[in-house]
Homo-oligomer: A and B are copies of this chain.
């Protein structure tokens, strides 16, 4: 996964982790796999919006990283299950941390856009920048 060669001073363990769960879907895939084994189409539905191509690709990368295990059942129609590997399982606390914070963040953003403005104000106070809305797209 696009290995980095620059040395990040005291080492970048954060970078090491982020490199594995980058991509537009890896993190979410892992998140879903935390709930247990899932089949290809099951994941596809869970990640509504992802294309087959990408799902396959991300899954393969996750597999190469040793984070998930791909189990193919020799039968027709095909059946493939994806599960967290031991390594992937050890990632649970990280995923959880990501999820927990994300939930709080989402709640904050949805419930109170004023808070965002407040942040902008705080910034203005420091430098006198112009107050433009945050990615309120």
B70 touches A8 (CB 8 A): no
Cβ contacts under 8 Å, A3 to chain B: 135, 137
Cβ contacts under 8 Å, A126 to chain B: 69-72
Chain A interface main SS type = helix
A13 touches B98 (CB 8 A): yes
Cβ contacts under 8 Å, A85 to chain B: 119, 122
A101 touches B106 (CB 8 A): no
Can you name the residue of chain B whose Cβ is closest to the Cβ of A96?
A: B97
**Pick from B8, B13, B64, B71: contact of A135, CB under 8 Å:** B64
Find residues 98-137 in chain A having any chain B CB closer than 8 Å to their own CB.
98-106, 108, 116, 119-120, 122-123, 126-127, 134-135, 137
